[in-house]
Structure 1
């Protein structure tokens, strides 16, 4: 049977039907007029094939994120995305237009995102082996690059200037901006903050590099080390200890959805590297070491949601739990906070506990606290006095007793944490009728 190469008409037809996105990458450069669609199942890849740019299905086969990802890592870990969590529907398209603009259009043909180029219009584009998507002008000058528009991740060879911000995801699977930010401030200090998502108001910092007062750049070098290089010649290292080679390992540093900034490695040969876990990213270092204890603020919920408490699990990551007779607002998101599964103690004279015997009790949880929800403090007090003070107060949801101190807490509870260093005990007020119910996880 004759092939398309034997028939010029068949060959021409094959070229017409073959996706332009693939043809455009034969020399590593993406030419003007090239496009990708959610329907063609293709992506633009780096020369080595390490990285890819295109549409990635997220959560639902009909929803897509325009993103860059590690293409040879099984889970296709995303390192950058356009429009963060604004997903597009099937039929959307990204195109390097003949005008030199990289444009994302939705399935109705409306342009919803454009790479804001400088130094003239782009004449070509490429996804580099560094994971950087670049647009070039006719003089091979960069007119736009994804490295200048970081979302939650940085990669080797990337340099951040002062004034740059990384924002966490909202959840592990929701790529919208979350409540944590890593800010490389204009004073030279690298700082982690929690934020109010509605107003972008910054709450108190929960970690900083302590380098304020020096002009510097944050560098993730090609050897896999992250450091602040200051204009006076000094270097402030962030990566701690020895690092594995970038030749044999993928590297990334991500401000994760849980508020911890972590540097990761992944063996390029996958399971063939017997000294490293197959099929997973390994943490090289992270800050802060215990985010449950690091966040302490008068505002916001803390590392976990309101009315929950945070603890570091066996994987050294924060996990969020509800007290007895409380349940998650969203069972699919344990960081969403908790709500009471009972009607609170009545403040009416004839309410529960007044004429019909005790309707509430105090359940103990050692080494647990919600330090920023106080409305009353007694000292000196013994435990019996602390218990009584909470039981007769309809506003008291929890009492904390430690030494000779007693604090009464109101809802919503914030900055909850469990840690052996907390000391004392939490006395949580719950209905007696549920006292025989199955306890959730208790430390």
Structure 2
């Protein structure tokens, strides 16, 4: 077979020749193993552009025409240049194959290795002797790697089509960037079934955003990432569901061509002819959800096509006017308002930028369902009917029934009622997350639509009679005189003792507090007096746990939750662990640590406020009137999985939380879930197979390997499986109010599997749970995978996330024995560092 890389024939020579050639002119596009690059001005090819961006190229495939756009690989930054990507980018080169910086032709990134973890100045890229390409930050932590060690890699190359690849002695590809797309495609690049283009958050923030384009079995779809997923573009192809075929798309000249592919992914249909582009092009999924094709013209980069054309123009995109914003035909954005009323229930997030959307004047609270009302918006509908496909819906219902169903559902944000002319019944959609709205045009959509937004009404309060200020002053005056007299006597006797004690403790307190000054990346440090004022002297308790109590407070305009450790002797180590852990990591599914207090014996943590509290009160029915619908439960499960995936696989060290339970899952006003309480967390170096530690956590959620004290982050995956079952079943894993044979949920799960009555466990409080039996069953199967006694058989959390997002299937070959019985448990009872008092049961349940 002819080599696909004929320009590499000379790589069969000895590696010393490679190293010699690398020292030649810059247009050389290859590198050999044992090459090392440092991201600083020592790299020879540093070019800064008028827009502030910079490239530091290490490989360049020069343009055959001697000047014009060329593909290069290296370090790239934009704006302030305080963060860099290792990327493939298109740059303009002159006749000497040198990168230039004219006013036209700024660099365009088409692939990056570390979009979620940019590196700093003096980061390094190492093409190791054993064939691995490794990116390290300036502090030597590994950020990204091709994981190709020991695979006989001969060289690194940037091809003429912009593909960065590692190849062996037969010129076969070992690894290539085309297999790991980010937000862009170049001509000839293929997006296969299950792969995604994921947009950046913005033009200046490279982190993965909420829009993605993917190839499914029946064609191409674009989604805004929400729970449930909401589609806004579809290009379906019939005839692709045969077992021996799957779909893929290829970027041709200015467009996407959808094809079928037989079982072997390297044998495409022979009849496919790909037209070549007349100039250099690339296609990018933008942060606003548009898919645009860019082409190099003599004046620079021009947009030549917007591939996903939606009607009516911009109004059919999810965030064109932000959440709750209404898009009109002329592209203007406005906030919802009540007809013929001066009341304002919504306000612009930013008056100067209406496209950022609107927010409720009074936030919704599911703890006050009696104060919820619906705001009617006539001839307003959702941005796309596609987005409503996965949303909770009711068919053949009356409009009033649709409205009442939304009012009774705590997570419902709106009721969308669609009906045809001359009919009273229609379709009812109940979204739990709302994106842009638009003015409805029945002549286009062929249906009428009424939309009702849920709003919060302020209840009237009664005035209370105040105590006489005169009487209060008299009492305070007498008390002050008595207090002064008694106090003066005590001061004379105690002043010497206090002086001595103060001097003894002063040094110990200073040494203790100095420990916190050494924590890197420290969040804001508050004084105890500041937090005492913020919480009204700790008057409103939100809850309590094994290490302390949590109080509501206000820091300026910001509502916060302040956690006070009640016993510093017990909790000092846990306090340090929590500040060090959560203070240095950031993820949308982790509760944000705003600051802390370490003053004398006081230890307090300041978190963002989560108005819907902890998950346990929503699934264990402390509030009997409210039940979460299935889509909200699924969203919560997905958010927990994403948080654990980040902790286990995306941080510099693996972080095992070690106390995953509903009490440590908090919910915001949209029922987005965030993991909290890192008091028991354990850092695990990436080169460690496990760590040795005393048993810690909460009985009922502990994995079997705790008995050996050799644990990995997979103990969290077992706990996650328990929590998923609790969410689905609406009860605690250990519930002593149940009959004796039903006390332990996981043991009951085993029995129901044997009896083939798994669906008997589904929570009956949720009205729609049995309407989604197939989905619920799949999630229960996922929980069982996580509950495997052998930790090696449990999935990684990144796999769990892919399953929840529909990109993978659950493992079917499972061991359905989730409970171990062993006499070792009793001997381990006194070694348990539990986050609540010990009980007669250990690990996942009674033995």
Aligned pairs (5 A) from 1:27-106: 27-40=28-41, 41=46, 42-43=56-57, 44-48=59-63, 49-72=69-92, 74-106=105-137
Counterpart pick for 2:325 among 308, 311, 316: 308
Q: Which has the higher helix share?
A: 2
Aligned residues of 2:132 and 2:148 also touching (Cα < 8 A) = yes
Q: How has the CA–CA distance of structure 1 residues 368 and 141 changed in structure 2, closer, same or farther, with 3 Å as cutoff? A: closer
Instruction: Tell me what 1:226 maps to.
Output: 256
Q: Does 1:213 align with 2:241?
A: yes
Aligned pairs (5 A) from 1:34-433: 34-40=35-41, 41=46, 42-43=56-57, 44-48=59-63, 49-72=69-92, 74-117=105-148, 120-185=151-216, 187=217, 189-196=219-226, 202=229, 206-211=233-238, 212-214=240-242, 215-216=245-246, 218-220=248-250, 223-224=253-254, 226-231=256-261, 246-247=277-278, 249-260=279-290, 262-270=291-299, 279-283=301-305, 285-286=307-308, 288=310, 305-310=322-327, 322-323=335-336, 326-327=346-347, 337-341=357-361, 367-368=380-381, 414-418=434-438, 419-421=440-442
Q: Equivalent residue of 1:71, what SS?
A: strand
Q: Which has the higher strand share?
A: 1
Separation in structure 2 between the aligned mates of residue 280 and residue 270 of structure 1, nearest angstrom: 8
How many angstroms does 1:188 deviate by?
A: 5.5
Q: How has the CA–CA distance of structure 1 residues 137 and 332 changed in structure 2, closer, same or farther, with 3 Å as cutoff? A: farther
Q: Gaps (5+ residues) in structure 1? A: 1-19, 272-278, 296-300, 352-359, 382-388, 432-443
| TM-score using structure 2 length | 0.36
Q: How has the CA–CA distance of structure 1 residues 234 and 125 changed in structure 2, closer, same or farther, with 3 Å as cutoff? A: closer
How many angstroms does 1:86 deviate by?
A: 1.8
Aligned residues of 1:85 and 1:174 also touching (Cα < 8 A) = no
Aligned residues of 2:292 and 2:303 also touching (Cα < 8 A) = no
Separation in structure 2 between the aligned mates of residue 219 and residue 53 of structure 1, nearest angstrom: 25
Q: How has the CA–CA distance of structure 1 residues 258 and 264 changed in structure 2, closer, same or farther, with 3 Å as cutoff? A: same
Q: Equivalent residue of 2:225, what SS?
A: strand
Separation in structure 1 between the aligned mates of residue 425 and residue 298 of structure 2, nearest angstrom: 57
Q: How has the CA–CA distance of structure 1 residues 196 and 59 changed in structure 2, closer, same or farther, with 3 Å as cutoff? A: farther
How many angstroms does 1:424 deviate by?
A: 6.2
Separation in structure 2 between the aligned mates of residue 163 and residue 361 of structure 1, nearest angstrom: 39
Separation in structure 2 between the aligned mates of residue 306 and residue 265 of structure 1, nearest angstrom: 29
Report the RMSD for the aligned CA atoms in angstroms: 5.2
Aligned residues of 1:227 and 1:235 also touching (Cα < 8 A) = no
Structure 1 residues 149-208: Cα deviation after superposition (integer angstroms, max 9, x where no partner): 1112111122333332222223343222222332223x36333333348xxx75568524
Report which stretch shifted further, 157-166 or 223-232: 223-232
Q: Equivalent residue of 2:156, what SS?
A: strand
Q: Equivalent residue of 2:144, what SS?
A: strand
How many angstroms does 1:213 deviate by?
A: 1.0
Q: How has the CA–CA distance of structure 1 residues 216 and 334 changed in structure 2, closer, same or farther, with 3 Å as cutoff? A: farther
Separation in structure 2 between the aligned mates of residue 398 and residue 24 of structure 1, nearest angstrom: 63
Instruction: Tell me what 2:517 maps to.
Output: none
Instruction: Tell me what 2:494 maps to.
Output: none
Structure 1 residues 24-63: Cα deviation after superposition (integer angstroms, max 9, x where no partner): 8453322334444432232132222512222222453211
How many angstroms does 1:365 deviate by?
A: 6.9
Separation in structure 2 between the aligned mates of residue 69 and residue 213 of structure 1, nearest angstrom: 36
Aligned residues of 1:52 and 1:70 also touching (Cα < 8 A) = yes
Aligned residues of 1:228 and 1:235 also touching (Cα < 8 A) = no
Separation in structure 1 between the aligned mates of residue 354 and residue 134 of structure 2, nearest angstrom: 36
Q: Equivalent residue of 1:139, what SS?
A: coil
Separation in structure 2 between the aligned mates of residue 192 and residue 285 of structure 1, nearest angstrom: 12
Aligned residues of 2:226 and 2:433 also touching (Cα < 8 A) = no
Structure whose CA Rg is larger: 2
Aligned residues of 2:130 and 2:149 also touching (Cα < 8 A) = no
Aligned residues of 1:150 and 1:166 also touching (Cα < 8 A) = yes
Aligned residues of 1:259 and 1:291 also touching (Cα < 8 A) = no
Aligned residues of 1:24 and 1:34 also touching (Cα < 8 A) = no
How many angstroms does 1:289 deviate by?
A: 5.0
Q: Equivalent residue of 1:147, what SS?
A: helix
Separation in structure 2 between the aligned mates of residue 113 and residue 188 of structure 1, nearest angstrom: 33
Aligned residues of 1:168 and 1:259 also touching (Cα < 8 A) = yes
Instruction: Tell me what 1:16 maps to.
Output: none
| TM-score using structure 1 length | 0.63
Aligned residues of 1:189 and 1:213 also touching (Cα < 8 A) = no
Aligned residues of 1:192 and 1:208 also touching (Cα < 8 A) = no
Aligned residues of 2:232 and 2:316 also touching (Cα < 8 A) = no
Q: Equivalent residue of 2:210, what SS?
A: strand
